[in-house]
Amino acid sequence: MLYFKDIKGHTDLRARLIQSVQEGVIPHARLLSGPEGAGALPLAVAYARYLLCTGRAADDACGACPSCQKINKLAHPDLHFVFPIINKISSRDAFCDDFLPEWREFLMKTPNSNLSGWLEKIQAGNAQGTIYARESNEIVRKLNFKSYESDYKVMIIWLPEKMQEAAANKLLKLLEEPPDKTVFLLVAEEPDKIITTIRSRCQQLIVPLLSDENVRQSTDETDMFLELFKSIMRNSVSHNLRGMKAKSEDFHALGRDKQKAFLAYAQRQVRENFLNILNQPQINYMNENEADFAVKFHTFVNERNVFDFVGELELAERHIESNVNAKMVFFDLSMKIAVLLKR
Ligand SMILES: [Zn+2]
């Protein structure tokens, strides 16, 4: 959970966030705003995961590095969370860390939930969720630690509009003079309620609420990509030149953006089929249909061909990017894959 691939839709936003990491242009503060259910929080976590991942791939975090493994449990020493809480627990002042076990479960099981879902989870009763002024000292304290194992420290603040004024003012100071290699990700439902001076210091991203139609479309797209992927691999294994040619027409018809998206998808499938060889189901992230195909296909992907295989797909992506004829790129790719699959 909490990978880019788990985010339904939002293809453009994902691509923008991925690109910024790949180019090393990391704004020290981002504000992701979206209504409840839009998925701004899981998107922020997926971005943090990608940023902290030490084995990141073109389209997502690796899932296997120590950083990813810690984020799987939401227990990464360089990833901090601030969220609204209730004032007291067992007659003393409460801090976010007091609610970490509940928070982890909440985020893993219901990443698209909302404030009332969270307050129910911590049995807040009638209490409002607030980010208390005292929490800002905790934020400063955590950011003063040297990062443990990553280049970056990430502080995700969920619902900054629930900050007490004093907390917001301290946050503003931090944003004005950001500690080195620290990234703030503010995730808001009502950005208008955040003071303008904070907002203006953040790179702002709008995370729109997707209709069922949008979400269904993106599921349909994954299914379509898988079918195309299967066809290429079958044609390549059987050296079916006629089939390769027919499929290059289909590929051409996708248009440039989808061609690129498909090639990124194919890279992920190849990597995951390779991981399947290593027999580590816990770092395998295929859906049911993909896993079905992998049962046989993974035997074709091995340590002798996997890097060239992914390399050819990357090369094809670059060729599409620079406007080389899509049919040629695709046909050429199928031929190269046919050779690679024999290794
Ligand atoms: Zn990783």
Quote the pLDDT of residue 333: 96
Q: Rounded to the nearest whole angstrom, what is the distance from the C-alpha of residue 2 to the centroid of ligand 1?
A: 12
Q: Give the number of residues written for the chain.
A: 343
Q: For 122-141, what is the mean pLDDT? A: 93
Cβ–Cβ contacts within 10 Å for residue 246, how many?
Answer: 13
Q: For 165-178, what is the mean pLDDT? A: 94
Q: Rounded to the nearest whole angstrom, what is the distance from the C-alpha of residue 258 to the centroid of ligand 1?
A: 26
Q: Rounded to the nearest whole angstrom, what is the distance from the C-alpha of residue 11 to the centroid of ligand 1?
A: 21
Quote the pLDDT of residue 331: 94
Residues within 5 A (CB) of ion ligand 1: 53, 55, 61-62, 65, 68
Q: How confident is the model at residue 36 (pLDDT cuts 50, 70, 90)?
A: confident
Q: What is the pLDDT of residues 179-237, one digit of tens each?
A: 889 999 999 999 999 999 999 999 999 998 887 776 676 778 888 999 999 999 999 99
Q: How confident is the model at residue 280 (pLDDT cuts 50, 70, 90)?
A: low
For 184, counting Cβ atoms within 10 Å of its Cβ (0-12 exposed, 13-18 middle, 19+ buried), the class is: buried
* Distances, alpha carbon 196 to alpha carbons 40, 172, 187, 210, in Å: 20, 10, 15, 27
Q: Indicate if the alpha-carbon torsion angle 308, 309, 314, 317 is positive or negative.
A: positive
Q: Rounded to the nearest whole angstrom, what is the distance from the C-alpha of residue 51 to the centroid of ligand 1?
A: 9
Q: Rounded to the nearest whole angstrom, what is the distance from the C-alpha of residue 17 to the centroid of ligand 1?
A: 16
Is the pTM higher than 0.85? The answer reads no
Quote the pLDDT of residue 279: 59
Query: Where on the phi/psi map is residue 132: left (φ > 0), alpha (ψ -120 to 50), or beta?
Result: beta
Q: Rounded to the nearest whole angstrom, what is the distance from the C-alpha of residue 63 to the centroid of ligand 1?
A: 5
Q: For 139-147, what is the mean pLDDT? A: 85
Q: Rounded to the nearest whole angstrom, what is the distance from the C-alpha of residue 284 to the centroid of ligand 1?
A: 12
Q: For 57-72, what is the mean pLDDT? A: 94
Q: Rounded to the nearest whole angstrom, what is the distance from the C-alpha of residue 195 to the centroid of ligand 1?
A: 35
Quote the pLDDT of residue 274: 87
Q: Rounded to the nearest whole angstrom, what is the distance from the C-alpha of residue 52 to the centroid of ligand 1?
A: 7
Quote the pLDDT of residue 277: 59
Q: Rounded to the nearest whole angstrom, what is the distance from the C-alpha of residue 307 to the centroid of ligand 1?
A: 17
Quote the pLDDT of residue 231: 95
Tokens of 93: 């002042």
Q: How confident is the model at residue 301 (pLDDT cuts 50, 70, 90)?
A: very high
Check residues 150 and 260 and name the one with the higher pLDDT: 260
Q: For 155-174, what is the mean pLDDT? A: 96
Q: What is the pLDDT of residues 253-262, one digit of tens each?
A: 999 888 998 9
DSSP state letter for 98: G
